[in-house]
Structure 1
Amino acid sequence: MGGEQIHEASVSEKGIDQDRVWAIRDEKTKTIRGAKHFGDLMHFSARCLERRFSDQVAHVEITLPSGKKVCSDDDSVHQFISEALGRAVTLWPIMPENNDNHYRLQDLPKASSLKEFRRSFGLEDGEPLPDMSGFPKELLREFVRFSTPRGTYFDAYPINILTTASLFKLASFCPDSSLDRRRFRPNILVSDNKALCDFVEDGWLNNSLIIGSSKFEIETRTVRCVMVTRSQPEIPKDTVIMRRLVEHASQKLSVYATVSTPGNICTGNVVTLPNLGVSNAS
């Protein structure tokens, strides 16, 4: 669903506190699914509720496309989301890592597996498959068997970092597209006051990055999927964005990171890459 903009956060090895701790399960296939499959989810939004917890997971208030609000601890939440989505679904908090069945892909495609892969990545006929070599083999094995890495609802890693420099660079290839940051769903957006126009994150691989009292390890570039083309409130559907990403950026934009030093971050922190001697304002 559409996210919630916050200006300060605590960060642990699991990522930003309370990020992606709820997910939708398709009741027809009994598989955890997101907006890659149900694009209309991007017209829902959610925000965490303070002091209302299910175990260690904060309850959320979900705003449906109609504007109606429903909370995750409401007995009718599954019904309301299903009716708004036009599909029978249920809402689930994060489950333990050893609950394989919860995370397992129950609806693995058979003969059409390649077609489904291309669809989920927003690719047209003739466009190359994305290069996944930046991901470790054990994570690639998770992608094949499970909807998300077990114990998380992340696509791959707990942190995604994007720069405004990359958005300016992409905009130079598709000037008529709306490149609202919400399309790319970063946990952290790094701004340099419009000084740069380049895919600068590509030079951060295998380096550390410090923000506030937190330290991040840059793992790999983010392979983009059909999500960046989805419509959202005030954002139109736009497949041109994927065409330009494939053509000019190998379908990659932003970087994934893990957290090596938990701490706190906030808007206005200086972003430092010690090994490169570079600092930017976030």
Structure 2
Amino acid sequence: MQIAEVRRFPVKSMLGDAVPDAWVDHRGLVGDRLWAVCDADGKLGSGKNTRRFRRMPGLFRLRAHAGEPVPIVELPDGRCFAADESAGHRAVSEVLGRPVTLVAETTIPHHDEGPVSLISTAALRALTGMCGGEPGGGDVDPLRFRANFLVDVPGSGFPEDDWFGRRLRVGRDVVLRVVRPLTRCVMIDMAQAPAVGRNDLLKALAERREMTFGVFATVERPGRVAVGSDVAFED
């Protein structure tokens, strides 16, 4: 098994970037989901409504890039703002149609369920067999699941189902402990360039997989992970 993609999302629930490598610490990928869009009542922008999160249509029209000392947010018209810039807050509010600010993580992590998320190419092929591939051809786009790591695994099926509780060594240094499956929401069917909108993926997962796809893991040993890094079980 090998790492096929590394993705980082500097602002939660916005589009992010595929990167050649990333550093991983005990919080997860450095800089991943470290910022979030915050509503007037303190709830964070997401694709679902929970005690902590609020669904905010329009977040996928925005893209966040890594920056120093804060991420850069790109608007649909191409304008870019630093995440802590007041003019940017106003511009993002206009796009979303509600007053919001961008806030950095404090004591409560912005992750939905855990520090690091993983999906496999085998599971994407299995889901493609259930629902069909993308309209333009090919398997279901891994971008839809916003995972940090896409793991290249031969065959077709859901190999992650056998990873729970196991330790994965990724590259030379990083060790992850797989905790449990990731529960999915309507975001996987939403359009996020280049993937177009559809309405069948969440329904299929609800009917056949209790709405789960992929897994999340905690970090037992930090280090660097790159595209092409080997992935192997340590137990």
TM-score (norm 2): 0.86
Aligned to 1:46: 64
Kindly indicate which of the two structures has a greater share of residues assigned to strand: 2
Q: Which structure 2 residue ranges, 5 or more long, are not aligned?
A: 1-13, 49-54
CA distance in 2, matches of 1:25, 1:201: 33
**1:255 counterpart = 2:215:** yes
Residues 177 and 238 of structure 1 are in contact (CA less than 8 Å); yes or no, is this contact kept in structure 2?
no
Matches within 5 A, 1:57-96: 59-95=70-106
Aligned to 1:7: 20
CA distance in 1, matches of 2:188, 2:21: 25
Kindly indicate which of the two structures has a greater share of residues assigned to helix: 1
Percent of residue pairs identical: 29
Residue deviations 1:229-279 (CA, integer Å, cap 9, x gap):
11212322212111111122221110110000111111111100133xxxx
Aligned to 2:7: none
Residue 83 of structure 1 and its aligned partner are, at CA, apart by 0.9
**1:175 counterpart = 2:132:** yes
TM-score (norm 1): 0.72
Residue deviations 1:131-154 (CA, integer Å, cap 9, x gap):
xxxxxxxxxxxxxxxxxxx2x100
Residue deviations 1:93-125 (CA, integer Å, cap 9, x gap):
111x2xxxxxxxxxxxxxxxxxxxxxxxxxxxx
Which of 32, 41, 44 aligns to 1:32? It is 44
Q: Secondary structure in 1 aligned to 2:126?
A: helix
CA distance in 1, matches of 2:225, 2:134: 31
Instruction: Give me the CA root mean square deviation.
Output: 1.4
Letter in 2 for 1:83: E
Residues 177 and 240 of structure 1 are in contact (CA less than 8 Å); yes or no, is this contact kept in structure 2?
no
Q: Which structure 1 residue ranges, 5 or more long, are not aligned?
A: 54-58, 98-149, 276-282
Residues 23 and 91 of structure 1 are in contact (CA less than 8 Å); yes or no, is this contact kept in structure 2?
yes
Per chain length, whose mean CA-contact separation is higher, i.e. which structure has more relative contact order (CA < 8 Å, sep 6+)? 2
**1:162 counterpart = 2:173:** no
Residue 67 of structure 1 and its aligned partner are, at CA, apart by 2.1
